[in-house]
Amino acid sequence: MSRLRLCTGLALAGLLAACSSVPYAQRQQQRRAAYEAAAGAPVRSFRFFAPIWSWEPLGETELAVYTRPNQAWLLDLGGCQQLEFANAIGLTSNLGEVSINFDKVLTGRGNVPCTISRIRPVDVAKLKIEQAKQREVDSEPRAAPATGAQ
């Protein structure tokens, strides 16, 4: 019974993915561009005390981490196994501070930890504006049908 549910779930997920009007790679590139536009100058570290509020993979080499609803960091990684498919991630830290070239992103038991090579703060307000621009739709009124007698 569980094998049937798994196959049905995978088929449904594939069908929903196929119905998208924008290809996955293009959507991911748009998200990455929005984060890049909102990212500030690189910093050496950031403070991190609580559980991760949210996170978003932007490919195998970039990760957006939200430490609070309005505070985000763009992490550049040296390549990370299964980052896009991970259900949860972890961050190493030293006394509540995540530092470049020292701390890592953890994606699962069998996967090698990913070293953080660059950290940039994200202006979340600017990011929301960039994402809203991407969702804008150019609409034009439909042409009136031609009425002609035959």
State the pLDDT at residue 75. 96
Q: Is residue 90 part of a domain?
A: yes
Which candidate, 40, 39, 34, places its Cα nearest to that of 130?
34
- Global pTM value: 0.73
Which candidate, 126, 115, 118, 128, places its Cα nearest to that of 46?
118
State the pLDDT at residue 102. 94
The count of structural domains within the chain is: 1
Which regions of the chain are under pLDDT 50? none
State the pLDDT at residue 148. 63
State the pLDDT at residue 17. 55
Q: Is residue 71 part of a domain?
A: yes
Q: Is residue 36 part of a domain?
A: no
State the pLDDT at residue 134. 72
Residue 35 class from Cβ within 10 Å (0-12 exposed, 13-18 middle, 19+ buried)? buried
Q: Is residue 12 part of a domain?
A: no
Q: How far apart are CA 116 and CA 46, in angstroms?
A: 12
Q: Is residue 21 part of a domain?
A: no
Structural domain containing residue 74: 45-129
State the pLDDT at residue 110. 82
With tokens 């007698």, the residue in question is 149
Q: How far apart are CA 87 and CA 148, in angstroms?
A: 59
Each residue's pLDDT tens digit, 56-67: 999 889 999 999
